[in-house]
Chains A and B, each alone.
Chain A
Amino acid sequence: MAGAAPAPVIVRVQRDDFDVAAETARLVAGGASAGAIVSFTGLCRDEGGRLSALELEHYPGMAEAEIERICLAAVTRFSLLGIAAIHRVGRIAPGQNIVLVIAAAPHRHAAFDGASFVMDYLKTSAPFWKKEHFADGSEGGWVEAKDSDDTALEKWS
């Protein structure tokens, strides 16, 4: 019996939007062993009409490398069949996509956990920063990191 092919790990940082269905199809192409696919899409909120856009900055090179490290850890920990993580940068308007994580696994619990694990670590250790732009045209400053994002990691320790 041939050994299992390594689980696909797709990591991209891009300005353009992504298509969830197309990315999901790409991730599971070439196999039918997945019984569960969980996808998470993070969007830009309008913060009650206050926000006109978020500006996403990243550390080119390290951002991709860090997300890949997180994805590989998730594949090992949850025995995923594949993982995709796509993060947009640049100016993003309310209602638009920011981030996509797709986890494929034989069963649902691993797929849910894998996607959740990647998002939790991505938020606290992938080098991205958000700056707010307000609807009145003023620059709102940099979004502050939340303690709740750090405490979210405790469930994985």
Chain B
Amino acid sequence: MTRLVYFAWVRERIGKGEEDIDLPADVTTGADLLAHLKTLGDGYAHALEHENVIRIAINQEHVEHDEPIAGAREIALFPPMTGG
């Protein structure tokens, strides 16, 4: 099981802030994860429609979309940040 957490409009569109899911063996990178999640329902497809704007963090550190996700305890998906 992998813990996924979502924030801001990604969270709102998916309809939940976190979940634990089993990932298929062929989901090996952040980009694979986005593609897989988009098949899980309309909310996911809407949230992740523009994959290039989605930011990914693994174990609370920013990563690129081609980063391997093997061994990740927590993967976060969120929009560009607007703090400060």
Contact = CB atoms under 8 A, between A and B. Distances in A.
Interface stretch (A19-27, A73-81, A128-136): A128-136
Given A124-B81, A128-B81, 17 more contacts: A56-B83, A58-B7, A59-B76, A63-B83, A66-B60, A123-B83, A123-B84, A124-B80, A126-B83, A129-B7, A129-B78, A129-B81, A130-B82, A142-B9, A143-B82, A145-B81, A145-B82
Contacts of B79: 129, 142, 145
Chain A contact patch, size range: 20 to 34
Contacts of B46: none
A17 B84 CA distance: 14
A129 B9 CA distance: 9
Contacts of A128: 81-84
* A56, A98, A127, A142: most-surrounded residue (chain B CB, <10 A): A127
From DSSP, what is the main secondary structure of chain A's interface residues? mixed
B23 interface: no
B84 A61 contact: no
Nearest to B62: A125
A47 interface: no
Contacts of A131: 8
A59 B57 contact: yes
Contact of B83 (A58, A61, A65): A58
B5 interface: yes
A144 interface: yes
* B7, B78, B82, B83: most-surrounded residue (chain A CB, <10 A): B83
B60 A144 contact: no
29 contacts: A42-B84, A57-B7, A59-B60, A59-B76, A59-B78, A62-B57, A65-B60, A99-B84, A119-B84, A123-B81, A123-B82, A123-B84, A124-B81, A126-B84, A127-B76, A127-B78, A127-B83, A129-B8, A129-B78, A129-B81, A129-B83, A131-B8, A142-B8, A142-B9, A142-B79, A142-B82, A143-B82, A145-B80, A145-B82
